[in-house]
Chain A
Amino acid sequence: MIEGILIGLKTALSFQNLLMVMIGCFAGTIIGMLPGLGPMTAIALMIPITYGFDPATGLILMAGVYYGAVFGGSTSSILINAPGVPGTVATSFDGYPMAQQGKAGKALAIAAYSSFAGGTIAAIFLLIAAPSLSKVSLSFRSPDYFGLMILGLTAVAAFSSKGNFLKAMMMCVFGLMLATVGQDTLSDIPRFTFNTMNLSDGISFVLVVMATFAMSEALTIVIKGNDPAKAAKQISMTELGSIKLNKEETKKMFKTIPRSSVLGFIIGVLPGAGATIASFLAYGMERNFVSNEEKEKFGKGSVQGLCAPETANNAACSGAFVPLLTLGIPGSGTTAVMLGALLGFGIQPGPRLYETNPEIFWSVIMSMYIGMVVLLILNLPLIPYIARILAVPRTFLIPMILFFSVTGIYLMSFNNFDIFLMIGIAVIATILRLYDFPMPPLILSFVLGGLMEENLRRSLLISDGSWSFLWNRPLTLSIMLIIIFIVSWQLFKSLKALKNA
């Protein structure tokens, strides 16, 4: 492990990679800060740029963007009560009241220190857990992988859909359908190409991510008539107050950070759960841990109420890398985008990544620490200036996002067809968004589609066409039982809601 850490440090501390972490954190903070635009949009916009880099550098840049975007999301939650990402909704419960009391600087500092601590502690857990889990997962076979992928999709559908399980499952199927367009990988037989050469290579992953996130988020802002800049004008960016914390506040944070980090990491590892659930659970858990007097302050500007969700959501971000790096199966929409980018680099994440590409495996983990430090020492003092981005009117913001999306696809294919296809998918995604159809399950299933088919093919061929592979091995059977439990639980919840209505 020590050797791996040194390899990772050597790669992560090269001048180019350090620069990428800084640029990533900075760009991520700016994009994540804009309400409506989350880490997935930030990463999606970066993908065309990363294709010119070597895989380690590209992934380091995207990891930096990821952390920066989560940090940026808390800034808009605290300053204008408009969470940039769902994972920072709980941050606004106490962060915004603090800002209203003239303690915006302090709230931002608590968020930054908590993010740093949560991310760093979780990165240590990742350092220990990932190699061990990699070794265990080497014994996994095709049926187990197939089961794990279905479990990932079901869990994301169950947790990301806020009671709309059927909508999320429809999105999963839609993503898988899009993934089957193009030539079959084994036989080269064209499928769903409608005799068009433009579709024979399938639909590009970047195109789908750009269309369903960057473009459709921008179009949703336009069609709903939201203007984030209007809210930003209500606060004076220069009057954020001091960012220094007193002894009592620091002491409170010291108690909250360890428990929220552990909780956040565990939730992050679970497929589908992610930063949003981690932050809400940490908020609820912290409320039970504090004294009755402190409990009264929750929702009115409590230090612990702000510290807990911020710590947990960053710890969950690191935790989400565990299934991606060890099993090659992303547990969230954001890590699905990263998986797609890795596949674009020709790298298959999974248990063998640890042996075949140790520099990538370790440098990503090491760059997480560096990213945390960058966020703390670079972004925190610059927040009053970076926060001005919130005041950029949408009349300039939206065309810029659309321009970067179209240019990203244009630079990859130099093909009009891809641009039209992207616009078409973006329009459909915008309509679906208006009616609360979640997009992360679509992306996750689109990325996993090829791998799922491959593992199903192997499993069915080995078992001579029998579906008994689903219950022949104890591990596969356990995974299938969990899936049955999640589906039954979701259907039971839907029927109960109907009865109550």
Chain B
Amino acid sequence: MKINSVKIISLLFFVLSAFYLYTAYQIQVFSFDEDSPFNAKTFPIYLGYTGMFFAGLKIVLPDPNPIEVSPKNLEFKKTILLVLTMCVYGATILKVGFFLSTSLFLVFAYYFLGERRWKYILVFSFPFVAIFMYLLHGLLAVYLRDPLLKYIGIMG
């Protein structure tokens, strides 16, 4: 059996299914429901076994057309930076507020993806977010939490 990335993913899925099955057996059901033909853990238990069955087949059966993605052709650095920027954005959006966190997210995301024309970067970040906020908050009355703008007195 030749090991390739798809088989490794299938193995991980097999482990996930096994963990899911174990957790399904741990679900606490009401005592009167314990011997019922169907309770809260019945469906998850079937799912766990089904997941292990299909993942097991994928691991055991040889792959006629294996897919190999060469890491050289992938832009890991940009992708990781982008994901990290999103995480920081997600962490700050409630505390810092929508306007500043979103605008900074856009600035960094444009920059990390290779944009260097600062005129465009600035136009499509701060003013863009301000217009978007006005449309949402001002016209459509959608609530947007922004402690910073509230503190300054721009938002009510």
Contact = CB atoms under 8 A, between A and B. Distances in A.
A222 interface: yes
Nearest to B52: A173
Interface in A439-471: 452-453, 456-457, 460-461, 463-465
A222 B82 contact: yes
Nearest to A427: B83
B51 A170 contact: yes
A414 B37 contact: no
Contact of B79 (A222, A411, A494, A498): A222
A341 B11 CA distance: 33
Contacts of A398: 82, 109, 113
Contact of A395 (B9, B39, B75, B110): B110
B145 A402 contact: no
Contacts, number: 168
Contacts of B98: 410
| Most-contacted residue by chain B among A180, A427, A463 (CB, 10 A) | A180
B9 A189 contact: no
Nearest to A191: B27
B93 A453 contact: no
B110 A399 contact: yes
A251 interface: no
B63 to A, nearest CB: 8
Contact of B140 (A52, A173, A501): A52
Interface in B63-93: 64-65, 67, 69, 73-76, 78-79, 82-83, 86-87, 89-91, 93
A394 interface: yes
Contacts of B37: 460-461, 463-465
Interface residues of B, number: 68
Given A176-B47, A191-B27, A225-B74, A396 B61 contact: no
A499 to B, nearest CB: 9
B73 A498 contact: no
Given A166-B54, A420-B87, A456-B43, A394 B13 contact: no
A219 B79 contact: yes
Given A170-B51, A423-B87, A453-B43, A437 B106 contact: no
B90 A187 contact: no
A436 B69 CA distance: 10
B151 interface: no
B147 interface: no
A96 B87 CA distance: 40
A169 interface: yes
B51 A223 contact: no
A177 interface: yes
Interface string B41-67: 111100100110011011001101101
Interface size class of A (residues with CB under 8 A): 35 or more
Contact of A396 (B44, B110, B142): B110
Nearest to B74: A223
Given A225-B74, A460-B37, A406 B6 contact: no
B16 to A, nearest CB: 8
Interface in B97-156: 98, 102, 105-106, 109-110, 113-115, 120, 124, 136, 140, 142, 144-145
Nearest to A432: B9
Contacts of A396: 110, 115, 120, 124
A186 to B, nearest CB: 8
B9 A437 contact: yes
A180 B43 contact: yes
A423 B86 contact: yes
Given A222-B75, A423-B87, A187 B29 contact: yes
Contact of B86 (A224, A406, A430): A406
Contacts of A191: 24, 27, 40-41, 44
Contact of B109 (A176, A402, A460): A402
Interface of B is mostly: helix
B52 to A, nearest CB: 9
A407 B102 contact: yes
Contacts of B58: 166-167, 170
B114 to A, nearest CB: 5
Given A173-B50, A187-B33, A432-B9, A423 B83 contact: yes
A498 B64 CA distance: 5
B110 A170 contact: no
A187 B40 contact: yes
A225 B75 CA distance: 6
B74 A167 contact: no
A222 B78 contact: yes
Nearest to A436: B67
Given A167-B6, A460-B37, A494 B93 contact: no
A163 interface: yes
Interface string A202-225: 000000000000000001001111
A278 B73 CA distance: 34
A416 B64 contact: no
Contact of B83 (A52, A219, A457, A501): A219
The 8 A-B pairs with the shortest beta carbon distances in the complex, nearest first, are: A465-B37, A399-B109, A419-B90, A395-B115, A501-B64, A184-B40, A173-B51, A395-B113
Given A406-B86, A414-B94, 11 more contacts: A170-B55, A170-B58, A222-B78, A222-B113, A225-B73, A399-B109, A410-B93, A456-B43, A457-B42, A465-B37, A465-B38
Interface of B: 5-6, 9-10, 13, 16-17, 20, 23-24, 27-30, 33, 36-44, 47, 50-51, 54-55, 57-58, 61-62, 64-65, 67, 69, 73-76, 78-79, 82-83, 86-87, 89-91, 93-94, 98, 102, 105-106, 109-110, 113-115, 120, 124, 136, 140, 142, 144-145
27 contacts: A163-B65, A166-B57, A167-B6, A173-B51, A174-B13, A177-B16, A177-B17, A180-B44, A184-B40, A187-B30, A187-B39, A187-B40, A191-B24, A192-B20, A219-B82, A222-B113, A399-B105, A399-B113, A402-B86, A411-B136, A414-B94, A420-B90, A423-B83, A435-B9, A457-B42, A494-B64, A497-B64
